[in-house]
Structure 1
Amino acid sequence: MNQPLMTATSEIGVLPSHAIASLIATGAITATQPIPDEQIQPASLDLRLGAVAHRVRASFLPGTATVADRIADFAMHEISLENGAVLEKGCVYLVPLMESLNLPATIDAVANAKSSTGRLDLFTRLITDQGVEFDRIDAGYTGPLWAEISPRSFSVLVRPGLRLNQIRFRHGQAMLDDDALSALHSATRLVDGPAHIDGGLGFSVDLRLGAGPVGYRAKPHTALIDLDRLNHYPVDAFWEEVHATDGRIILDPGAFYILVSREAVHVPPDYAAEMAPYLAMVGEFRVHYAGFFDPGFGNTDAGGAGSRGVLEVRCHEAPFALEHGQIVGRLVYEKMQQRPQKLYGADMNSNYQGQGLKLSKHFKT
């Protein structure tokens, strides 16, 4: 990158883009192909699919073994991605990523699906050797990275280099407690309405958007989606509109929905955020599969005043009545080690800055 390289300091916080570039330069992050500048986000690094996919009969965590060793227990067949390959709805695949890690002993990491991945109901998690949790990487980890991919609503066509998930690096415990979050909201408003702060910043669902739909529900039997085709697919071939009655919709078990938060969300430039699922006892559904909010999301100076949070919702055991304004999730904020040199939005040509109800970038607008 055309900027001074910086090593990770002892300061607590999420590493910004220029510190990630330093990890690459010093060999803490390596890859089978050079890592281009655009792969580095304000507070995370996009990860790229490798050349093969392993169809497996079940998801697993390797525990005391390596992922490669455990694949032998679960593999069904291997698929080359070189000329494009279909990952079929309802199946589970493991794909080695181009990137590997050799982290310093003071740096840990967390992964999450990218926004477009989650909006396609493309369930994607990171796995490491000897891993006992998905999407969590211990400080000092050395070894390869793997993506577990399970298409839930649509079969997809993928190729090497495709970016489905991302990784965020941290030094120490950077999460703000409720007192610090309340103080931050007082200093620079984090939502445009009342702030419900309890284990993070609560947000609610908007089911009164006006004359149009309040959301979309994935159709059960659709054509294939080529993940390299952007602004290409007609919405009505893959989604049906969801309309509310008196500010209420009924979620069907097993169905996948795209909804939107009632609140406009703001992530100040010196902070990062992650969407966390709300407590299970509030209803038989799960909100979110993609969860990183970069510094600058919803920031007025970065072109994002009024950015809503898109909610990826799946209902579980029983039909559930979802009401307008019901709190369905929370944002956990973390302090950045330093302000990134580029912010989400105007600096990055970001796809979802200033968004309202919005499907993934693969569908025609």
Structure 2
Amino acid sequence: MTSVETGVFPNQMIEALIKADKIRADRPLLPGQVQPASLDLRLGPVAYRVRASFLAGHGRTVAERLAEFEMHRIDLTDGAVLEKGCVYLVPLMESLALPADLTAVANAKSSTGRLDLLTRTITDGGTEFDRISAGYHGPLYAEICPRSFSVLVRPGMRLNQIRFRRGQAILSDAELAELHARTPLVDGPAVIEQGLGFSVDLRLPGTDLVGYRAKPHTGVIDLDRIGHYDPADYWEELRTTAGRIILDPGAFYILVSREAVHIPPQFAAEMAPYLAMVGEFRVHYAGFFDPGFGHAAAGGAGSRGVLEVRCHEAPFVLEHGQVVGRLVYERMAQVPTQLYGADIASNYQGQSLKLAKHFRTP
């Protein structure tokens, strides 16, 4: 690594941080934990049930605040259930000793978001969720709130991930338009406004199935069980030929983008809200898109983005082609030596409408 390398750190630079003891862990890191542009974070052996979500705040530690809000602690060693509607704090196995010129941002992993499992990272002295200031030295914690399904967790499970960056990495709209002209980022016209806009697909070819809505009363999901659960036990199918659906307040939906997205190897992206003032619903923006997502050389020909949608105060009509989110593209400091889909076991390369990996394919 050199001081001139600005942008998001790829896997080889993350591995260099580990070797330099800038990323530390209670247990040795595992194969596959370092992703093309992020590091998976692991749950530690204990969870704390807390009264409410909180941030440490300037000059205070999470441990100090935990003493105010802890209700009871749960040993995760043999597995334990985190119940729907409750808030938990779990110390992570990884901690940081960042250089003064390095910041980090955390986010839930794709499968975590698709289970409506709100997972955010907090730090000592932190005033924002998932944002880690330059030069941070200290522990990391996951705040977990299951919102649709109760889940069974164990130490070492990876619910969230962290990216590292040096300097300014976000592409301006002009730079994004220039990149799209050289290497198409979507399989159609690009809507570029503070990122690359994407819309919802409610007219999927050859089917009237357009999405899923989480059932309100279900069994527990063991996060170690892949391809195990019958979707019908947890999800209601959404079918329409009208090109629109009505979102119910408080309900959680899995939908899919109309556009097939492409992330070239020298870039990464993050899903963000499109218009905060819309208010009636939001697309879950706990989503990192790795270099190589939807990239032809990495085994994809564009991949649709799965949309995790929650409706708020009032029923809301969502229509086919409505712009619901945006992708913010960032430069990589170096091209990763491994890409999404090509070099790692990627569950969602080439995806269309798809539930989390824990469910059997319908």
TM-score computed with the length of structure 1 as normaliser: 0.97
In structure 2, C-alpha distance between the alignment counterparts of 1:8 and 1:314, rounded to whole Å: 43
Letter in 2 for 1:364: R
In structure 1, C-alpha distance between the alignment counterparts of 2:285 and 2:187, rounded to whole Å: 24
In structure 2, C-alpha distance between the alignment counterparts of 1:21 and 1:277, rounded to whole Å: 31
Q: Which residue of 1 aligns with 2:334?
A: 338
Q: Which residue of 2 aligns with 1:3?
A: none
In structure 2, C-alpha distance between the alignment counterparts of 1:352 and 1:226, rounded to whole Å: 20
1:8/1:17 Cα in 2 relative to 1: closer, same or farther (>3 Å)? farther
Displacement, 1:253? 0.2
Measured against aligned partners, the alpha-carbon deviations of 1:178-205 in whole angstroms (never above 9, x if no partner) come to 0000000001000001100000000000
Tell me, which stretches of 5 or more residues in structure 1 are unaligned?
1-6
In structure 2, C-alpha distance between the alignment counterparts of 1:119 and 1:225, rounded to whole Å: 12
Report the secondary structure of 2:27's partner residue: coil
Displacement, 1:246? 1.2
Displacement, 1:219? 0.2
In structure 2, C-alpha distance between the alignment counterparts of 1:259 and 1:108, rounded to whole Å: 32
Q: Which residue of 1 aligns with 2:253?
A: 257
After superposition, where does 1:288-299 map in structure 2 within 5 Å? 288-299=284-295
Q: Which residue of 2 aligns with 1:191?
A: 186
Tell me, which stretches of 5 or more residues in structure 2 are unaligned?
none
Measured against aligned partners, the alpha-carbon deviations of 1:11-66 in whole angstroms (never above 9, x if no partner) come to 21000000000000010000000012310000000000000000000001110210
Letter in 2 for 1:111: A
Residue 67 of structure 1 pairs with residue 62 of structure 2: yes
Residue 326 of structure 1 pairs with residue 322 of structure 2: yes
In structure 2, C-alpha distance between the alignment counterparts of 1:310 and 1:105, rounded to whole Å: 36
Residue 244 of structure 1 pairs with residue 244 of structure 2: no
Measured against aligned partners, the alpha-carbon deviations of 1:282-308 in whole angstroms (never above 9, x if no partner) come to 350010242100000000110111310
In structure 2, C-alpha distance between the alignment counterparts of 1:289 and 1:333, rounded to whole Å: 14
1:212/1:346 Cα in 2 relative to 1: closer, same or farther (>3 Å)? farther
Task: Select which of 164, 187, 190 maps to 1:169.
Answer: 164
In structure 1, C-alpha distance between the alignment counterparts of 2:82 and 2:4, rounded to whole Å: 42
Query: Does the aligned pair in 2 maintain the 1:10–1:171 contact within 8 Å?
Result: no
Query: Does the aligned pair in 1 maintain the 2:106–2:163 contact within 8 Å?
Result: yes
In structure 2, C-alpha distance between the alignment counterparts of 1:235 and 1:196, rounded to whole Å: 34
Letter in 2 for 1:42: P
Q: Which residue of 1 aligns with 2:4?
A: 10
Query: Does the aligned pair in 2 maintain the 1:123–1:289 contact within 8 Å?
Result: no
In structure 2, C-alpha distance between the alignment counterparts of 1:346 and 1:12, rounded to whole Å: 25
Letter in 1 for 2:287: G
Letter in 2 for 1:303: G
Report the secondary structure of 2:145's partner residue: strand
Report the secondary structure of 1:98's partner residue: strand
Q: Which residue of 1 aligns with 2:19?
A: 25
In structure 1, C-alpha distance between the alignment counterparts of 2:71 and 2:229, rounded to whole Å: 31
Q: Which residue of 2 aligns with 1:35?
A: 29
Query: Does the aligned pair in 2 maintain the 1:8–1:19 contact within 8 Å?
Result: no
Query: Does the aligned pair in 2 maintain the 1:16–1:44 contact within 8 Å?
Result: yes
Query: Does the aligned pair in 1 maintain the 2:208–2:241 contact within 8 Å?
Result: no
Residue 362 of structure 1 pairs with residue 358 of structure 2: yes
In structure 2, C-alpha distance between the alignment counterparts of 1:272 and 1:298, rounded to whole Å: 12
After superposition, where does 1:118-157 map in structure 2 within 5 Å? 118-157=113-152
In structure 2, C-alpha distance between the alignment counterparts of 1:293 and 1:8, rounded to whole Å: 25
Measured against aligned partners, the alpha-carbon deviations of 1:47-90 in whole angstroms (never above 9, x if no partner) come to 00000000000001110210011001000000000000000000
Measured against aligned partners, the alpha-carbon deviations of 1:82-104 in whole angstroms (never above 9, x if no partner) come to 00000000000000000000000
In structure 1, C-alpha distance between the alignment counterparts of 2:319 and 2:302, rounded to whole Å: 22
Report the secondary structure of 1:346's partner residue: coil
In structure 2, C-alpha distance between the alignment counterparts of 1:83 and 1:45, rounded to whole Å: 25
Displacement, 1:281? 2.5
Task: Select which of 69, 77, 84 maps to 2:72.
Answer: 77
Task: Select which of 222, 228, 233 maps to 2:229.
Answer: 233
Measured against aligned partners, the alpha-carbon deviations of 1:305-355 in whole angstroms (never above 9, x if no partner) come to 131000000000100000000000000000000000010002112000000
Task: Select which of 177, 180, 184 maps to 1:182.
Answer: 177
Displacement, 1:278? 1.6
Residue 202 of structure 1 pairs with residue 197 of structure 2: yes
In structure 1, C-alpha distance between the alignment counterparts of 2:65 and 2:192, rounded to whole Å: 42
Report the secondary structure of 1:214's partner residue: strand
Displacement, 1:244? 2.4
Paired residues in the alignment total 359
In structure 2, C-alpha distance between the alignment counterparts of 1:192 and 1:233, rounded to whole Å: 33
TM-score computed with the length of structure 2 as normaliser: 0.98
In structure 2, C-alpha distance between the alignment counterparts of 1:111 and 1:8, rounded to whole Å: 23
Letter in 2 for 1:20: I
Task: Select which of 88, 97, 108 maps to 1:93.
Answer: 88
Identity of aligned residues (%): 73
Report the secondary structure of 2:179's partner residue: helix
Letter in 2 for 1:185: H
Q: What's the Cα RMSD here?
A: 0.9
